[in-house]
Amino acid sequence: MYIILFGAPGVGKGTQAKILAERKNVAHLSTGDEFRRNMLEETELGKLVKPIVQSGNLVPDEIVSQIVTDALSQTRFESGCIFDGYPRTINQAQYLDAFLAARNTPVTKVVNIEVDEDNIVNRLLQRGRVDDTEKIIRERLEIYRNETSPLLEYYRSNNILVSVNGVGELEDVYARIDAVL
């Protein structure tokens, strides 16, 4: 089972991915967590992505896809994965599709979590990360609309896209996601 949780920054992908991974006994891959870990440990990758992340821009496809490839090569991802924050572009989606096709393990479902913009801004400001100022959040949402949302059509055309309302109590949102899986 390879599930992609999709949606704008702050819709709850990370939270729901952790719950899904635990309840479905599938590994969770968060590119955002990988970036933050590398920045904290000041690895070469961390030094490379830190100014990009702090400016609110997306990390280049090649770097993100390399992180995903390396992660998916680990044994904990052999039986599936809940993707959180990847893919974000058509190039990344095509890369992932090719990588998984070579392993005969295609993406099972893409769950688009929908939340209105003002709600997203409030959620992200409350989590208190250094890279979560209102200006940067709104810039990331604009980048999302321009660069990432075309993925909805890509996955819709592959008949694996479903959308759920991401507003409400944690368990209610989880139940909506679980129902479409």
The Cα–Cα gap between 166 and 68 comes to: 25
Question: In this model, does residue 116 exceed pLDDT 80?
Answer: yes
**How do residues 117-165 score in pLDDT, each as one tens digit?**
999 999 999 987 787 899 999 998 998 888 877 899 999 999 999 999 9
Three-state SS annotation for 97-166: HHHHHHCCCCCCEEEEEECCHHHHHHHHHHHCCCCCCHHHHHHHHHHHHHHHCHHHHHHHHCCCEEEEEC
Tell me what the mean pLDDT of segment 50-58 comes to: 85
**How do residues 59-107 score in pLDDT, each as one tens digit?**
899 989 888 887 888 898 888 999 987 998 899 999 999 999 999 999 9
Q: Are 47 and 57 in contact (CB under 8 A)?
A: no
pLDDT of residue 24: 95
Q: Are 8 and 26 in contact (CB under 8 A)?
A: no
Token look-up 């100014």 returns: 51
Token look-up 């913009």 returns: 117
Q: Which domains does the chain have, with CATH numbers?
A: 2-173 (3.40.50.300)
